[in-house]
């Protein structure tokens, strides 16, 4: 039964008409072309534990040997960088509360505005735009003495490693 089915399938696969033969030759040419192209492809398998740098090597290869990052990649990374900056500053402000470090009076308004901005945006990727006035306030908060004091004690609380 199987042999009969196989034989009949094989028979119908064999090109007989001129059109079928032309199509078959075209497929053969494509396969031969692909074979030559594949002979020049080197595949690399990156092995390593978590956080060992596999993705980083892949990204570096793209920057060094290909076109680097696409526009969509850049937009996505920009969001991640801004989002990390907001999260890290929030962690530092929380640490000040924990350590009972009081902000300078000239900074307190900026801290309030920043926390309000963070609550409003809630770090939503679709709705997240780090406005320049907020970035400016974040910079002023960051360089203030109390925040730098909390930063020096960063081993005592959770802080993103890209905070600085
Ligand atoms: N100092 C240093 N840091 C590195 C190097 N390569 C990667 N990193 C950092 O190590 C961290 C982890 O790197 P990834 O490339 O994400 O690691 P991964 O192997 O892809 O991790 P998983 O996806 O979790 O398996 C990142 O914060 C990188 O910036 C390196 O050569 N030197
Ligand atoms: Mg990875």
Pocket test for ligand 1, best of 46, 49, 56 (most atoms within 8 A of CB): 56
Q: What is residue 127's predicted lDDT score, i.e. its pLDDT?
A: 61
52 lines ligand 1 (CB under 6 A): yes
Check: CB of residue 90 under 8 Å from CB of residue 147: no
Domain map (residue ranges) of the chain: 2-39, 71-156
Atom 4 in ligand 1: residue holding the nearest Cα:
53
Residue 48, pLDDT > 80, answer: yes
Q: How far is the CA of 136 from the centre of ligand 1 (A)?
A: 30
- Considering every ligand atom, which ligand is closest to the CA of 59? 1
67-80 burial code (b ≥16 CB/10 A, e <16): eeeeeeeeeeeebe
Task: Give percent above pLDDT 90 in the chain.
Answer: 54
- Give the pLDDT band of residue 124 (cuts 50, 70, 90): low
pLDDT at position 2, please?
A: 45
Whose CA is closest to 133, among 122, 149, 117? 117
Q: What is the mean pLDDT of the chain?
A: 87
Closest CA to 140 of 112, 101, 99: 112
Are 114 and 137 in contact by the 8 Å Cβ rule? The answer is yes
User: Which ligand has the minimum distance to the alpha carbon of residue 49?
Assistant: 1
Q: What is the pLDDT of residue 12?
A: 60
Going from the Cα of 47 to the center of ligand 1, the distance in angstroms, rounded, reads 12
* C-beta of 51 in contact with ligand 1 (< 6 A): yes
User: What is the percent of the chain where pLDDT is above 70?
Assistant: 90
């Amino acid at each position: 039964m199987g042999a009969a089915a196989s034989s009949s399938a094989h028979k119908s696969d064999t090109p007989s008409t001129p059109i079928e033969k032309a199509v078959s030759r075209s497929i053969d040419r494509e396969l031969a072309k692909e074979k030559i192209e594949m002979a020049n492809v080197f595949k690399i398998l990156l092995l390593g534990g978590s956080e060992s740098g596999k993705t980083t090597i892949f990204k570096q290869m793209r920057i060094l040997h290909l076109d680097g990052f696409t526009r969509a990649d850049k937009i996505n990374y920009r969001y991640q960088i801004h989002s990390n900056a907001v999260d890290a500053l929030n962690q530092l402000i929380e640490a000040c509360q924990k350590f009972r470090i009081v902000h300078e009076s000239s900074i307190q308004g900026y801290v309030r505005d920043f926390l309000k901005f963070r609550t409003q945006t809630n770090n939503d990727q679709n709705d997240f735009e780090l406005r320049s006035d907020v970035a400016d306030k974040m910079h002023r908060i960051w360089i203030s003495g109390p925040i730098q004091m909390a930063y020096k004690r960063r081993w005592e609380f959770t802080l993103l490693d890209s905070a600085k």
